Chains A and B, each alone.
Chain A
Amino acid sequence: MLSAPAATNGTKAVVSVRSETDSQQVAKRPAASSPGGGRRIGSALGRAAWWTAAVFGLPFGLLALWWVLSADSETFYLPPLSEILASFDDVWLHSDRLAADVLPSLLRLAAGFLLAVVVGVGLGVLIGSFRRVRAFCEPVLEFLRAIPPPVLVPVLMLFAGFGNTMKVLVVLSGCVWPILLNTVEGVRAVDEVLTETCRCYGIRGPARLWHLVVRSASPQIVTGLRQALSVGIILMVISEMFAANNGLGYTIIQFQRTFAVTDMWTGILLLGLLGFLLAMLLRLFERSALHWYFGLRQSQRDDGQR
């Protein structure tokens, strides 16, 4: 279907064997809601268990390793994990730091990230749709993309001061590139037959933009989002380390400067945990927004195997 001749031939072979009749109006592959027998439920449970093990196995393994190796640690800078975990809830949960530091950090990250989505997808659609615009913008984009966003922090401080605006702009300036570039690629790859279908049926304007361009590019856009998220977390912390009076990055730097090493480690753990949760959130979004894409690829693989 994306690769027309191969897919078509595959389909032909399948169909001729099945000798489809009109009474046989069933979908080739059952949709998500298929009747569940006992084995199906069993395998679903098995899958859930496997998934849980896959997701949590390695992290917990590494934590256990850390726990064991650091158990007798006398080094001031590497306290035992048991101590770190013991002080974790004192530092973060039995204080106002969640509201005073973690929340502002997350809000700045969210604002920068969402702005980057709007700007990146918007510009990406524009640049990807018109060859002239692309030729015009490409050199500038390559130049801007090559600048490491952290060096923008001092510059942005000059313009936007030390407040939230600066930090949001720093996050935005880093997140926008992966989203923009992936969107451009996605938009350029929109299927020509679908484009012509839209022209024939008078699908234009916002309907075309959404149903054809953005949806076609959505797998690449989500790839961009995933890259942008990790960049965004890094920049959130860095922007707070430069100049701030609250936030996760600021707190960790404060701990370090006051030689509260154990507390500093709890901050690093929390940061990792947050990154993990945000990535999972994005994965959930991907599962629902791109379920068609996974289904399509699966069906192409199935056709290829037969």
Chain B
Amino acid sequence: MNSTALPQAGSGPLLDVRALRKVYAGRGRSVEAVRDLTFSVGAGELVCVVGPSGAGKTTLLKCIAGLLPPTSGELVLEGAPVQGPPPGMAVVFQEYGRSLFPWMTVQQNVELPLKQKKSLDKARRRQLVRDALAAVGLADVPDAYPWQLSGGMQQRVALARAVAYEPHILLMDEPFAAVDAQTRADLEDLVRSLWQRLGVTILFVTHDIDEAVYLGQRVLVLSASPTLVLDDVAIDLPAERDQLGTRSSARFGELRAKVFGQIQRAKGARPTDPAPPTDPALPADPEHADSDPADSPADVPPPRQSTDAGSR
């Protein structure tokens, strides 16, 4: 029913997170940011992680990226335990503006990581930079500095840098939280098309339920801190998605309602409670429940729901 690229037989999951726990030990006070996370991501999958603000999404990503040592638990990437930043991984940070070097032009920013790869000669490097910038629609500003660009353009530079790096796995931390709705829709489609074209595995963190459902093949729902995986929702929408049609389809409404229900429960749930089962009684949006998406092409996409209402 969908094009979910299941992990190839025998290859096992690309990323395995087992009983991950992270406690920030501070002076006098320690914060248990992540209590117990277990999930895996297959090669070529696009998995979204949603959770309320402060749920430990960034913490999870930094642990996977090898930037933070977990307090306990295991992280296995491509068969090897994660001890430091793995070579085949690229990260797009939440604070994208700060992750670009202000003393370098757009092109230099994208090229710098490639210069560390000894196997690439200059011509190939330049080619990768050009292709990546073209892919994100920034082919004509290679010599601008990041601070001369708008927020959405800066985010696309960060994305181009990740893409040019040719990673096996791409981690993205709320990359579109600070751009306007129009740019955001464009960037979402960009991520999906890059994913389909490059066959890269993507772990996409967001607090926006609609975004998670629209983008992902699977949505992992995290509870509020201290964090557990509440649910792992398979998104059985067609592989070809478009902002208007997909978002106004009945199935989209159902999935969104399902994830939203989990999140609502997450807010009330004690972290020690077992993950609540999927509730079939939760109604999907009645307006869309039995309508064929083809019948309502003029439908306005339903309003976005956020896991941390209004805090952004």
Across the interface, do B99 and A197 meet the contact criterion of CB distance under 8 Å? Answer: yes
A138 at the interface (CB under 8 A from B): no
Across the interface, do B178 and A11 meet the contact criterion of CB distance under 8 Å? Answer: yes
Interface string of A176-220 (1 = CB under 8 A from B): 000000000000000101101101111110010001100100100
Query: Which residues of chain A are within 8 angstroms of B153 by Cβ–Cβ distance?
Result: 20, 25, 28
Across the interface, do A4 and B98 meet the contact criterion of CB distance under 8 Å? Answer: yes
Across the interface, do A25 and B140 meet the contact criterion of CB distance under 8 Å? Answer: yes
Across the interface, do A194 and B99 meet the contact criterion of CB distance under 8 Å? Answer: yes
Across the interface, do A15 and B151 meet the contact criterion of CB distance under 8 Å? Answer: yes
Question: Assuming A2-B98, A8-B97, A31-B144, is B85 touching A202 (CB within 8 A)?
Answer: yes
Interface string of A114-131 (1 = CB under 8 A from B): 000000000000000000
B283 at the interface (CB under 8 A from A): no
A22 at the interface (CB under 8 A from B): yes
B278 at the interface (CB under 8 A from A): no
Which of A4, A15, A200, A299 touches B95 (beta carbons < 8 Å)?
Answer: A4
Interface string of B60-88 (1 = CB under 8 A from A): 00100111000000000000000011010
Query: Which residues of chain A are within 8 angstroms of B180 by Cβ–Cβ distance?
Result: 12, 15-16, 19-20
Min Cβ gap B162→A in Å is 9
Query: Which residues of chain B are within 8 angstroms of A14 by Cβ–Cβ distance?
Result: 150-151
A94 at the interface (CB under 8 A from B): no
B90 at the interface (CB under 8 A from A): yes
Across the interface, do B101 and A211 meet the contact criterion of CB distance under 8 Å? Answer: yes
Docked Cα-Cα span, A44 to B118, in Å, equals 46
B264 at the interface (CB under 8 A from A): no
Number of interface residues of B (CB under 8 A): 50
B182 at the interface (CB under 8 A from A): yes
Query: Which residues of chain A are within 8 angstroms of B62 by Cβ–Cβ distance?
Result: 196
Query: Which residues of chain A are within 8 angstroms of B104 by Cβ–Cβ distance?
Result: 211
Query: Which residues of chain B are within 8 angstroms of A15 by Cβ–Cβ distance?
Result: 150-152, 179-180, 183
Which of B87, B98, B101, B145 touches A202 (beta carbons < 8 Å)?
Answer: B87
B141 at the interface (CB under 8 A from A): yes
Which of B103, B116, B148, B181 touches A201 (beta carbons < 8 Å)?
Answer: B116
B299 at the interface (CB under 8 A from A): no
Main DSSP-derived SS at the B contact region: loop
Main DSSP-derived SS at the A contact region: helix
Across the interface, do A207 and B137 meet the contact criterion of CB distance under 8 Å? Answer: no
Docked Cα-Cα span, A26 to B182, in Å, equals 17
Query: Which residues of chain B are within 8 angstroms of A28 by Cβ–Cβ distance?
Result: 148-150, 153
Across the interface, do A193 and B95 meet the contact criterion of CB distance under 8 Å? Answer: yes
A143 at the interface (CB under 8 A from B): no
Min Cβ gap B249→A in Å is 25
Query: Which residues of chain B are within 8 angstroms of A7 by Cβ–Cβ distance?
Result: 97
Query: Which residues of chain A are within 8 angstroms of B137 by Cβ–Cβ distance?
Result: 22, 25
Query: Which residues of chain A are within 8 angstroms of B113 by Cβ–Cβ distance?
Result: 201-203
Number of interface residues of A (CB under 8 A): 45
Across the interface, do A292 and B103 meet the contact criterion of CB distance under 8 Å? Answer: yes
Query: Which residues of chain B are within 8 angstroms of A16 by Cβ–Cβ distance?
Result: 180-181
B252 at the interface (CB under 8 A from A): no
Docked Cα-Cα span, A28 to B101, in Å, equals 17
Across the interface, do A296 and B147 meet the contact criterion of CB distance under 8 Å? Answer: yes
B104, B148, B165: which has the most chain A beta carbons within 10 Å? B148
B204 at the interface (CB under 8 A from A): no
Min Cβ gap A56→B in Å is 32
Docked Cα-Cα span, A176 to B180, in Å, equals 49
Across the interface, do B93 and A12 meet the contact criterion of CB distance under 8 Å? Answer: no
Across the interface, do A18 and B150 meet the contact criterion of CB distance under 8 Å? Answer: yes
B89 at the interface (CB under 8 A from A): yes
Docked Cα-Cα span, A236 to B89, in Å, equals 54
Query: Which residues of chain A are within 8 angstroms of B149 by Cβ–Cβ distance?
Result: 27-28
B112 at the interface (CB under 8 A from A): yes
Q: List A20-44 residues whose CB lies under 8 Å from chain B.
A: 20-22, 25-31
Docked Cα-Cα span, A278 to B112, in Å, equals 34
Across the interface, do A197 and B147 meet the contact criterion of CB distance under 8 Å? Answer: no
Min Cβ gap A30→B in Å is 8
Docked Cα-Cα span, A22 to B186, in Å, equals 9
Across the interface, do B102 and A296 meet the contact criterion of CB distance under 8 Å? Answer: yes
Question: Assuming A20-B152, A27-B144, A299-B148, is B112 touching A194 (CB within 8 A)?
Answer: no
Docked Cα-Cα span, A27 to B183, in Å, equals 15
B290 at the interface (CB under 8 A from A): no
Which of B91, B103, B141, B148 touches A200 (beta carbons < 8 Å)?
Answer: B91
Q: Which residue of B lies closest to A195 (CB)?
A: B67
A1 at the interface (CB under 8 A from B): yes
Docked Cα-Cα span, A15 to B182, in Å, equals 10
Question: Assuming A27-B149, A295-B145, A295-B147, is B99 touching A20 (CB within 8 A)?
Answer: no
Q: Ordered nearest first, which 3 A-B pairs have the shortest CB separation?
A: A11-B151, A201-B113, A16-B180
A residues sitting closer than 8 Å to B (CB atoms) are 1-2, 4, 7-9, 11-12, 14-16, 18-22, 25-31, 191, 193-194, 196-197, 199-204, 207, 211-212, 215, 218, 292-293, 295-296, 299-300
Show 14 A/B contacts (Cβ-Cβ < 8 Å), sorted by A. Answer: A8-B178, A15-B180, A16-B180, A19-B180, A20-B150, A20-B153, A197-B99, A200-B89, A201-B165, A207-B116, A292-B102, A292-B103, A295-B148, A300-B147
